[in-house]
């Protein structure tokens, strides 16, 4: 369902399934605690972003091409693919994103 609503190619199914599981575990219910809250004792502190949403992600000054003007933004448009989890299911405010430019140029016969 995530993949179809986002309009992404089926090669992104592994990201869509992981995102669905994470979104299901962090969803807020007024009467019951979420799976995240039951495990960690607190609500998920990150944003609940829909799979396939267009976002601007920070590339940092080191990845900024030198030809850009000094005050050009250091962010690029991208597509949100999920949360980057560390071992032990620790989230360090990292997201999985693909560049919108790369997505538009990609041949879907190549690996993701």
- Burial pattern 62-97, b for ≥16 Cβ within 10 A else e, equals eeeeeeeeeeeeeebebbbbbbeeeeeeebeeebbb
For the chain, the farthest-separated pair of C-alpha atoms sits apart, in whole angstroms, at 54
Q: Going by DSSP bridges, is the β-strand pair 90-99/54-58 parallel, antiparallel, or unpaired?
A: unpaired
Has residue 105 got a pLDDT over 90? no
Q: How far is 48 from 19, CA to CA, in rounded Å?
A: 10
pLDDT at 107: 64
Residue 52 region by backbone torsions, left for phi larger than 0, else alpha for psi between -120 and 50, else beta = left
| Predicted pLDDT of residue 112 | 52
Tens-place pLDDT, residues 39-80: 999 999 999 999 999 998 887 666 555 666 666 667 788 999
- What's the mean pLDDT in 27-44? 90
Per-domain residue ranges of the chain: 2-105
Rounded percentage of the chain residues whose pLDDT exceeds 90: 42
Give the pLDDT of residue 75.
79
């Amino acid at each position: 369902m995530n993949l179809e609503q986002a309009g992404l190619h089926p090669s992104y199914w592994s990201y869509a399934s992981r995102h669905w599981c994470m979104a299901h575990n962090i969803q807020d219910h007024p009467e019951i605690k979420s799976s995240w809250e039951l495990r960690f004792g607190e609500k998920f502190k990150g944003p609940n972003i829909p799979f396939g949403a267009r976002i601007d992600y920070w590339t940092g000054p080191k990845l900024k091409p030198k030809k850009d003007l000094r005050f050009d933004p250091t962010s690029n448009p991208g597509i949100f693919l999920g949360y980057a989890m560390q071992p032990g299911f620790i989230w360090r405010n990292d997201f999985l994103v693909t560049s919108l430019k790369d997505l538009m140029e990609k041949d879907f016969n190549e690996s993701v």
